[in-house]
Amino acid sequence: MKKQEIQKIALERIKILFKEADKSFSKHPERSNRYVKLARKIAMKVNLSIPSTYKRKFCKHCYSYLKIGSNARKRIRDKKIIYYCMECKKFNRIPYKR
């Protein structure tokens, strides 16, 4: 198999894992965190960067799945989007342009 084919399969699996993490968060948040860790491992194994839409759904420090309103806070301040993780009490800033 070619590297591009392997990365395409890995991206599909990452998408599935994040979909499952979103579904199972309300009942099993620890399972959602496990799905995020698996998705990261898959991406690292095939040298693939996780798409930015999914990057914003987990904490960069403790790798827990972030659900706005239950274990995360999202604020806009000084042209930055700030994601605050309630699990590890750390935050992530992303530049914001209108």
Q: What are the backbone angles phi and psi of residue 93, rounded to the nearest 5°?
A: -105, 135
Domain ranges (residues) in the chain: 3-95
DSSP H helical ranges for 1-98:
3-24, 29-45, 52-55
Pull the structure tokens for residue 43: 């991406």
pLDDT of 57 > 90? The answer is yes
Please give the CATH topology (third level) of the domain spanning 3-95: 1.20.5
**Could you tell me the pTM of the whole model?**
0.90
Q: Tens of pLDDT along 64-78?
A: 999 999 999 999 999
Residue 1 confidence class, pLDDT cut points 50, 70, 90 = confident
